[in-house]
Structure 1
Amino acid sequence: MKFSSIVYSIKQGFKNIHRNRMFSLASIGTIATCLFLFGIFYFILANFRYTVKIEEKSVGISIFFDDGATQEQIDAIGEQIKARPEVATMEYISAEQAWEKYKQDTFANEQELVDTFQDDNPLADSASYVVYLDNVSQQPEFVEYVQHIDGVRKVNNSDKLAKGLSDFNILLGYGSAAIIILLLAVAIFLISTTITMGISVRKEEISIMKLIGATDYFVRSPFIVEGIIIGLIGAMIPLFILYLIYNQAITYIGQKFSILSNILHFLNINHVFGTLIPISLAMGVGIGLIGSIITVRKHLRV
């Protein structure tokens, strides 16, 4: 396609938008609303996933050793565990550390009971590794592996919590897919209506262009450009608004619902918009492109 034809298509695309500005504004508004709702939903989804990810990494698996295991055997077990790809971090807790923590948790205000043990450590064989995984859904496979390592006596893990977090992640995924599909369908319908009106207005002009030898691509391209422009504008508006309100929203939530500060974890704005901007622009352009192509093929038979 010649450069002059490209320029013509772009000019005609803008003219079509101006000519049908009420429908164009309605389409832009609908896309902007859809992508604004998508952005809000993405904020919630991304931050919930981030929170779940942090909570997943706080679900520790405690690994205890056979009675009388030497430090060399314990170190060897640790090397096997570290070699597993699903392991994020691991911590060694000696019997002495375990006893000190138990005393603080259980006998915090009863020093006289602690004194009765003198130098004896009732948790002498309770040294352990506490392992945190990258993904809590990998816990069953990891536990199965560790239980078969020589020298491992017992493995404590939170099956119900791990399954709950994993199921919640799956539910978020299905919910997000359903909402995105619904929003896309509404936006495509509005763009299709706008471009249909543009074709109706220019029906006679298009017929003349065809009679004097204009190609189908030359006739159709302005309408496709129109759809892309509408989609692009419709994507940029909510991105600008969302960028302004994101930090204010998480600050407000942190101050108003301080009780949730230890539960909810928020992504920083650069991380969120580093993903949201290209996705929203691609969705806006994609909605405009798909809506215009479908409409042109359906109605532009002249």
Structure 2
Amino acid sequence: MLDQLESSIGIAVFLDDNVDSDKVLQINDEILAVDHVASVSYISPEDALSDLKQSWDAEDILAGFDETNNPLSSSFEVSLDNIEYQGDVVKKIEQIDGVRNIRHAESETQMLVKVSKFLSIFGILLILVLAAISVIIITNTIKLSVFTRRTEISIMKYVGATDWFIRWPFVIEGIIIGLVGASVPIVAAWPLYNKLVDLIYLHVPMIKTIVSFKFGIDIFSVLLPGALLFGALLGILGSTISLRKHLDV
């Protein structure tokens, strides 16, 4: 969602009234050549007037304006690959000949950058904490399994079972615990996410003009495989730690 919000906070570049089509193409190319510019969309005065009428539902108020009497000018909507560089991009575009004015949401951009950094750091710390908790749970679970099967393990060692023949069942158990622990939260969050999106659209309908939330299946179909792989690795790690400490084979 943050990626969509970042892409929605772009730069509006307004051109001089006397620019011709060749100059518009030249300005378009010069803007695209600026570092961190991802895309450029040209908006003609006619399109700008039409969008204004539709977005503000002001057909009656703006009825007197048409192609021959249009107060709006040509412009470009510029999207960036990283909004942290918005200030630098604006300074470079201001130097382009034919650019009259630039409008950009500076305060909103700074706020979004701070929120994005905070959430990134918080997300990494949360994953590390949850991973540590998962390893501890898996380690203690395998420890308990080793204890309850100590007689069976002694018999297998007595009859000549190899070390890994004894270890593998516990490793597989750790992997299963890791897979279940990783998949259950993802599956449980799926309907909650869909419900939350429905509530947001219901109570804040204007947000649709800013960001379009992805469908739950699009998000969780990507998250689930990664979560399962991560859970399996944690299961292997937790079981290995526990076996080294509590299984003398």
- What is the TM-score of this pair, normalised by structure 1? 0.64
In structure 2, the residue matched to 1:225 is 172
Q: Identity over the aligned pairs, expressed in percent?
A: 31
Task: Give, in whole Å, the separation in 1 of the partners of 2:179 and 2:97.
Answer: 61
Which is richer in helix?
A: 1
Aligned mates of 1:152, 1:244 — CA distance in 2? 48
What letter is aligned with 2:43? Y
2:218 and 2:84 mapped to 1: Cα distance? 25
Aligned partner of 1:59 among 5, 9, 14: 9
TM-score for the superposition, normalised by structure 2: 0.76
Cα distance change on mapping 1:144 and 1:290 into 2, 3 Å? same
Tell me, in whole angstroms, the C-alpha distance in 2 between the residues paired with 1:97 and 1:237: 48
Q: Secondary structure at the match of 2:43?
A: strand
Amino acid at match of 1:58: S
| Cα distance, 1:68 vs structure 2 | 4.5
The secondary structure found in structure 2 opposite 1:196 is helix
CA contact (8 A) 2:17 2:74 kept: no
Q: Using a 3 Å threshold, how does the CA distance of structure 1 residues 179 and 261 change in structure 2: closer, same or farther?
A: farther
Of 35, 42, 45 in structure 2, the residue corresponding to residue 94 of structure 1 is: 45
What is residue 29 of structure 2 aligned with on the other side? 79
Provide structure 2 residue ranges, at least 5 long, that are not aligned to the other structure: none
- For 1:261, the equivalent position in structure 2 comes to 205
Tell me the residue number matched to 1:130. 77
Structure 2 Cα separation of the partners of residues 172 and 82 of structure 1:
30
Alpha-carbon spacing, 1:69–1:220, altered in 2? closer, same or farther (3 Å): same
Determine helix, strand or coil for the equivalent of 2:206: coil
Residue 86 of structure 1 and its aligned partner are, at CA, apart by 2.8
Higher relative contact order (CA 8 A, sep 6+): 1
- Alignment deviations for residues 30-74 of structure 1 (CA, whole Å, 9 cap, x no partner): xxxxxxxxxxxxxxxxxxxx2x33333333423244574444223
Q: What SS does the corresponding residue of 2:11 show, helix, strand or coil? A: strand
Corresponding position of 1:301? 248
Structure 1 unaligned regions, length at least 5? 1-49
Query: Which digits, 9 at most, give the CA deviation of each residue in 1:111-142, with x for residues without a partner?
Result: 9xx89xxx887x58x54323233442342342
Structure 2 residue aligned with 1:203: 150
Aligned pairs for 1:1-302 within 5 A: 50=1, 52-65=2-15, 68-82=18-32, 86-94=37-45, 126-251=73-198, 253-254=199-200, 258-263=202-207, 265-302=212-249
- Shift in Å at residue 208 of structure 1? 4.5
- Matched residues in 2 for 1:289 and 1:223: separation? 9
Max radius of gyration: which structure? 1
Deviates more, 1:282-291 or 1:231-240: 231-240
C-alpha distance after superposition, 1:67-92 (max 9, x if no partner): 74444223211233245563334233
